């Protein structure tokens, strides 16, 4: 006789849902009332409005013989939520679905005692929804007899009524409590609201003012013009990579929306707003989803169940979460910070560096079943456990990077500018090797009429740790301006925290011709790179200013904001020169202040590594406020005209309202709210009875310096709790900010611009 199978073990959780590091047999978990995790998987048919129910087997130790969720089960110790959902559906019902069929809609905590007090269920349930177009034929199911005795479809309203009536035929769920979300989400998703959705999308789109960008190419040689065509094509490839980085099914959703854009006026609006955000989450609305799985792509699976004569197969909607994944597509969708940190602690120093590096993704082995990108045991893949493992960008995005590299090599061959040829060649090599050091040096040394920034740089999309860099491209025509000032030694910061080896940022000014990749939503007006701490310490950084973008934002956004929010007597101070000069100082100040730091115990680290998800917002606030301090410093040194001494502060105040409109989920918006509230609380910003604002010039200088000192001291100490406290207390939408934002909304001032690349389009059409 075969030995009985060992009892399933479950991870024991705290009452808050965190892993304790202890696992126990399932029977003991329910005996002792331990908190643990499980999955609920609901199959919903959108054409009939029905949910699939299963009748629990009579032998079950909980709710035997009652109708329940389509499929459910515990998450075994060490297993992941998503793989558990897939496994339970296949084991109980014989349905095999890919990961993109499962939409996590909410987490439900069930706390109850049944079976005369012998069975305690303290269970965190990850509730998934699988949306099919038509019902799955009942004969297609293969039922696991020990778990399921029957299945049937039931209209969601009828099922909800049965639960509300507490019918004994059904496993009880409180539809007026947490579990009511299942019904409210579906109801909201499928109600007939085409007109209201269209109006909402029109309003969201109108927040972006279309701007035509057509810089002249008269300064370019014939060789560089030919090279430019290849650079633009490479930039389009970069766009493909970014779509993939945002979310695992983003490219499929994009292609579906584009293909159906002409189906109706609503479909056209969906595509237009998706194109601005490059995802189904709205950048200007705290990343709230403006689409749902009901708008998503339809996929057909012919082998999801056993074959049924006359049935073409299972058609489902490719799902996406209502909440934007904090880890984007850099980490498994169901991985949290605690799991990552626990896994990382078991790695070697080299592996830890790779795990937290800019240019790697973290995967689970079950990802191998759903993607052809990763090959097991390849030379560039670090397998460190049976769970998470590391894959370099050069392998994860291999096909796209090889294509981009080939185009950059062709561009290099065409160009007659030595520094541009070197940049394009080294960047092509970096795409294939995953080592960007040499190409970043070449970027800093670029001296060409074509200005190119292409590759993985910013880490804003990684909301878990700010470790992983997204791909982007900025291509423009150089407008030669250069300046630098040594500000480091005069920073409002204790001397022990100042850097002796930080170089000032050389400045390159260009008129933007084309951008791609991580340029969704609000448009960048300047950037300061690279982010590689080795290069920052050795050579400093370089700054690129996008002059035509800055001019467009000032004219279309900042001036109207000033008219709405600044008192008449100070309105004259809002001018392009101080606005633009502060942008320069902002980018310069990214390159100074704390970067590589020494922790109290003597350990060497970086600000980014210690502050993690707090880093981006605090760094943007630092660059802003220290940039304002730097302007005053340069004016006092006689290096900038005295005429800027008042206009820089008033222009900055108007700029606060501009950036906060990006939303407090975005690093710049969050950093700007922190600055506004600090300066307001110090009396430097004044709200008057007419709802307009002014500067108290007697208080603003000291307030600016005190905030700069506060932020940089937190950075220098690598003090994440202090960073969290500062952001939680100050980076909020306070009443004075609400007053300003309501005025701006009433005036219908655009929030940002949407560039239309006329010159680039003509070039691409001719190539």
Condensed to tens digits (0 to 9), the pLDDT of residues 216-226 reads: 999 999 999 99
Which of residues 668 and 146 earns the better pLDDT score? 146
pLDDT computed for residue 277 by the predictor: 97
Answer yes or no: are the C-beta atoms of 598 and 604 closer than 8 Å. yes
| Lowest-confidence region among 482-491, 539-548, 738-747 | 482-491
Reported confidence tier of residue 663, pLDDT bands at 50, 70, 90: confident
Answer yes or no: are the C-beta atoms of 465 and 612 closer than 8 Å. yes
For 727-764, write each residue's pLDDT tens digit. 999 999 999 999 999 999 888 999 999 999 999 999 88
Answer yes or no: are the C-beta atoms of 344 and 379 closer than 8 Å. no
Q: Does pLDDT of 528 surpass 80?
A: yes
Task: State the burial class of residue 537 (Cβ atoms within 10 Å of its Cβ: 0-12, 13-18, 19+).
Answer: middle
Please report how many Cα atoms fall inside a 13 Å half-sphere around the Cα of residue 242, on the Cβ side: 29
SS3 of 120, please? strand
Buried b (16+ CB within 10 A) or exposed e, 294-318: ebbbebebeebbeeeeeeebbbbbb
Cα separation values, 530 from 255, 443, 449, 612, 647, Å = 32, 9, 20, 18, 31
Reported confidence tier of residue 491, pLDDT bands at 50, 70, 90: very low
For 602-632, write each residue's pLDDT tens digit. 888 999 889 999 999 999 999 999 999 989 9
Contacts of 40 (CB under 8 A, 6+ apart): 69, 71, 72, 108, 125, 126, 127, 128
| Lowest-confidence region among 73-87, 417-431, 687-701 | 73-87
Domain 9-190 has CATH 3.90.79.10: yes
C-beta neighbour count of 445 within 10 angstroms: 14
pLDDT computed for residue 496 by the predictor: 56
Answer yes or no: are the C-beta atoms of 294 and 317 closer than 8 Å. yes
Mean of all residue pLDDT scores within the chain: 90
Q: Which residue has the tokens 């990802």?
A: 367
Reported confidence tier of residue 637, pLDDT bands at 50, 70, 90: confident
Q: Does pLDDT of 485 surpass 60?
A: no
pLDDT computed for residue 373 by the predictor: 30
- Strand partners of residue 155: 50
For 718-728, write each residue's pLDDT tens digit. 999 999 999 99
For residue 416, report the phi and psi dihedrals to the nearest 5 degrees.
Answer: -110, 15
Q: Once rounded to an integer, what is the mean pLDDT over residues 63-86?
A: 93
Q: Does pLDDT of 540 surpass 90?
A: no
Whether this model's pTM surpasses 0.85: no
Q: Which of 422, 435, 429 is nearest to 392 (CA)?
A: 435
CA 228 – CA 435 distance, rounded (Å) = 24
| Lowest-confidence region among 18-22, 170-174, 228-232 | 18-22
Which of residues 102 and 63 earns the better pLDDT score? 102
Task: State the burial class of residue 257 (Cβ atoms within 10 Å of its Cβ: 0-12, 13-18, 19+).
Answer: buried
Q: Once rounded to an integer, what is the mean pLDDT over residues 474-491?
A: 60
Q: Once rounded to an integer, what is the mean pLDDT over residues 134-163?
A: 96
Which of residues 552 and 370 earns the better pLDDT score? 552
pLDDT computed for residue 272 by the predictor: 98
Please report how many Cα atoms fall inside a 13 Å half-sphere around the Cα of residue 63, on the Cβ side: 21
Q: Report CA torsion sign: 504, 509, 512, 514.
A: negative
First to last CA, the chain: 74
Cis amide linkage into residue 530, ω under 30° from 0 = yes
Q: Does pLDDT of 526 surpass 50?
A: yes
pLDDT computed for residue 334 by the predictor: 81
Answer yes or no: are the C-beta atoms of 657 and 752 closer than 8 Å. no
Q: Does pLDDT of 429 surpass 60?
A: yes
Six token digits for residue 533: 């701490």
Q: Does pLDDT of 411 surpass 90?
A: yes
CA 611 – CA 631 distance, rounded (Å) = 27
Cα separation values, 59 from 68, 149, 256, 374, 619, Å = 15, 10, 45, 42, 59
pLDDT computed for residue 366 by the predictor: 64
Angle at 679 between CA 550 and CA 571, to 5 degrees: 50
pLDDT computed for residue 34 by the predictor: 93
List the chain domain ranges. 9-190, 566-751
Q: Which residue has the tokens 């950093």?
A: 671
For 255-292, write each residue's pLDDT tens digit. 999 999 999 999 999 999 999 999 999 999 989 999 99
Answer yes or no: are the C-beta atoms of 110 and 121 closer than 8 Å. yes
- Strand partners of residue 452: 475
Which of residues 556 and 1 earns the better pLDDT score? 556
pLDDT computed for residue 493 by the predictor: 47
Reported confidence tier of residue 4, pLDDT bands at 50, 70, 90: low
Answer yes or no: are the C-beta atoms of 754 and 210 closer than 8 Å. yes
In three-state form (DSSP H/G/I as H, E/B as E, the rest C), the secondary structure along 475-533 is EEEECCCCCCCCCHHHCCCCHHHCCCCCCCCCEEEEEEEEEEECCCCCCCCEEEECCCH
Task: State the burial class of residue 602 (Cβ atoms within 10 Å of its Cβ: 0-12, 13-18, 19+).
Answer: exposed
pLDDT computed for residue 344 by the predictor: 94
Q: What sections of 60-193 are H helices per DSSP?
A: 81-93, 156-164, 181-190
Q: Once rounded to an integer, what is the mean pLDDT over residues 419-435?
A: 98
CA 32 – CA 19 distance, rounded (Å) = 16
C-beta neighbour count of 676 within 10 angstroms: 26
| Percent of the chain with pLDDT strictly greater than 70 | 93
pLDDT computed for residue 676 by the predictor: 96
Contacts of 199 (CB under 8 A, 6+ apart): none
Six token digits for residue 688: 């008057």
Answer yes or no: are the C-beta atoms of 565 and 741 closer than 8 Å. no
CA 22 – CA 36 distance, rounded (Å) = 11
Q: Once rounded to an integer, what is the mean pLDDT over residues 518-540?
A: 89
Answer yes or no: are the C-beta atoms of 58 and 65 closer than 8 Å. yes
pLDDT computed for residue 370 by the predictor: 42
Q: Which residue has the tokens 């303290």?
A: 122
Rg over alpha carbons for the chain, rounded to the nearest Å, is 28
pLDDT computed for residue 508 by the predictor: 87
Q: Once rounded to an integer, what is the mean pLDDT over residues 624-650?
A: 90
For 559-569, write each residue's pLDDT tens digit. 999 999 999 99
Instruction: Report CA 572 to chain centroid distance, whole Å.
Output: 38
Q: Does pLDDT of 599 surpass 60?
A: yes
pLDDT computed for residue 79 by the predictor: 87
Reported confidence tier of residue 634, pLDDT bands at 50, 70, 90: confident
pLDDT computed for residue 765 by the predictor: 86
Q: Which of 332, 274, 616 is nearest to 460 (CA)?
A: 616
Q: What sections of 372-494 are H helices per DSSP?
A: 393-396, 398-414, 418-433, 437-444
CA 678 – CA 684 distance, rounded (Å) = 9
Q: Which of 191, 190, 256 is nearest to 44 (CA)?
A: 190
C-beta neighbour count of 338 within 10 angstroms: 11
Instruction: Report CA 117 to chain centroid distance, whole Å.
Output: 45
Q: Does pLDDT of 583 surpass 60?
A: yes
CA 382 – CA 183 distance, rounded (Å) = 43
Answer yes or no: are the C-beta atoms of 393 and 400 closer than 8 Å. no
Angle at 291 between CA 286 and CA 295, to 5 degrees: 165
Cα separation values, 536 from 422, 441, 485, 605, 667, Å = 20, 10, 16, 14, 21
Cα separation values, 359 from 84, 327, 330, 403, 710, Å = 29, 14, 10, 18, 31
Q: What sections of 661-719 are H helices per DSSP?
A: 667-681, 700-717
Q: Does pLDDT of 499 surpass 70?
A: no
Reported confidence tier of residue 495, pLDDT bands at 50, 70, 90: low
Reported confidence tier of residue 484, pLDDT bands at 50, 70, 90: very low
Q: Does pLDDT of 537 surpass 90?
A: no
CA 365 – CA 377 distance, rounded (Å) = 11
Q: Once rounded to an integer, what is the mean pLDDT over residues 489-493?
A: 47
DSSP secondary structure, 303-361, as one string? SSSS--TT---EEEEPP--SBPPTTTTTS-TT--HHHHHHHHTTS-HHHHHHHTSTTEE
For 335-392, write each residue's pLDDT tens digit. 888 889 989 999 999 999 999 999 999 998 865 444 333 333 344 444 444 579 999 9
């Amino acid at each position: 006789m075969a030995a009985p199978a060992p009892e399933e073990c479950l991870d024991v959780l705290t009452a808050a849902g965190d892993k304790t590091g202890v696992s126990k047999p399932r029977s003991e978990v329910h005996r002792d009332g331990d908190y643990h995790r499980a999955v609920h998987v609901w199959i919903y048919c959108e054409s009939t409005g029905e949910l699939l129910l299963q009748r629990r087997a009579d032998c079950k130790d909980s709710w035997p013989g009652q109708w329940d969720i389509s499929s459910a089960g515990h998450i075994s110790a060490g297993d992941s939520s998503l793989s558990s959902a897939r496994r339970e559906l296949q084991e109980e019902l014989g349905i095999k679905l890919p990961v993109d069929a499962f939409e996590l809609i909410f987490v439900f905590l069930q706390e109850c005692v049944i079976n005369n007090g012998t069975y305690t269920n303290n269970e965190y349930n990850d509730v998934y929804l699988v949306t099919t177009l038509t019902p799955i034929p009942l004969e297609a199911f293969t039922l696991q007899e020990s778990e399921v005795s029957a299945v049937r479809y039931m209209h969601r309203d009828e099922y909800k009524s049965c639960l509300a009536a507490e019918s004994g035929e059904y496993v009880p769920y409180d539809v007026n409590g947490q579990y009511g979300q299942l019904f409210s989400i579906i109801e909201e998703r499928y109600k007939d609201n085409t007109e209201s959705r269209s109006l909402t999308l029109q309003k969201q789109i109108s927040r972006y003012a279309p701007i035509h960008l057509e810089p002249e190419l008269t300064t370019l040689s014939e060789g560089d013009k030919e090279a430019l065509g290849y650079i633009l094509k490479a930039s389009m490839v970069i766009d493909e990579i970014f779509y993939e980085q945002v979310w695992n099914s983003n490219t499929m959703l994009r292609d579906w929306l584009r293909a159906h854009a002409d189906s109706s006026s609503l479909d056209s609006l969906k595509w237009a707003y998706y194109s601005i955000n490059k995802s189904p989450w709205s950048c200007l609305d705290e990343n709230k989803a403006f689409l749902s799985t009901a708008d998503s792509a339809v996929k057909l699976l012919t082998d999801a169940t056993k074959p049924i004569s006359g049935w073409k197969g299972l058609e489902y909607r490719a799902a996406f979460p209502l909440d934007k994944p904090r880890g984007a597509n850099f980490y498994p969708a169901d991985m949290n910070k605690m799991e990552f940190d626990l896994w990382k602690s078991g790695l070697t120093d080299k592996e830890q560096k790779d795990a937290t590096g800019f240019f790697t993704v973290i995967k689970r082995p079950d990802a191998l079943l759903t993607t052809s990108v990763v090959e097991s045991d390849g030379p560039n893949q670090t397998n460190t456990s049976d769970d998470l493992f590391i894959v370099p960008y050069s392998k994860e995005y291999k096909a796209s990077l090889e294509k981009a590299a080939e185009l950059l090599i062709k561009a290099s061959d065409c160009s007659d500018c030595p520094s541009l040829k070197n940049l394009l060649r080294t960047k092509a090599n970096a795409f294939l090797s995953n080592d960007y050091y040499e190409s970043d040096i070449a970027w800093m040394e670029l001296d060409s009429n074509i200005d190119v920034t292409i590759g993985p740089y910013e880490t804003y999309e990684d909301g878990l740790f700010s470790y992983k860099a997204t791909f982007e491209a900025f291509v423009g025509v150089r407008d030669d301006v250069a300046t630098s000032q040594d500000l480091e030694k005069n920073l409002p910061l204790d001397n022990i925290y100042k850097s002796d080896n930080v170089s000032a940022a050389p400045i390159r000014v260009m008129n933007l011709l084309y951008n791609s990749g991580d340029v969704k939503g609000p448009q960048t007006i300047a950037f300061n790179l690279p982010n590689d701490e080795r290069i920052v310490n050795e050579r400093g950084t370089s700054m690129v200013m996008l002059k035509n973008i800055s001019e467009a934002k000032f004219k279309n956004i900042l001036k109207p904001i000033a008219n709405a929010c600044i008192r008449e007597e100070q309105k004259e101070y809002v001018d392009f020169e101080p606005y633009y000069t502060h942008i320069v100082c902002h980018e310069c100040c990214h390159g100074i202040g704390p970067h590589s730091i020494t922790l109290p115990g003597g350990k060497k680290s970086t600000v980014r590594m210690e502050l993690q998800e707090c880093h981006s917002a605090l760094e943007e606030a630092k660059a802003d406020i220290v940039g304002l301090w730097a302007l005053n410093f340069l004016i006092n040194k006689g290096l900038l005209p005295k005429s800027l001494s008042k206009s820089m502060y008033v222009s900055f105040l108007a700029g606060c309202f501009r950036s906060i409109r990006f939303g407090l989920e975005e690093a710049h918006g969050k950093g700007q709210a922190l600055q506004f509230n600090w300066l307001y609380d110090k009396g430097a910003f004044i709200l008057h009875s007419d709802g307009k604002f002014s500067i108290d010039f007697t208080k603003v200088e000291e307030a600016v310096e005190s905030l700069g000192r506060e932020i940089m001291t937190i950075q220098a100490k690598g003090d994440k709790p202090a960073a969290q406290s500062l952001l939680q207390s100050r980076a909020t939408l306070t009443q004075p900010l609400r007053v300003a934002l309501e005025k701006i909304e009433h005036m219908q001032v655009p929030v940002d611009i949407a560039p239309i690349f006329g010159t680039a389009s003509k070039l691409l059409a001719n190539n």
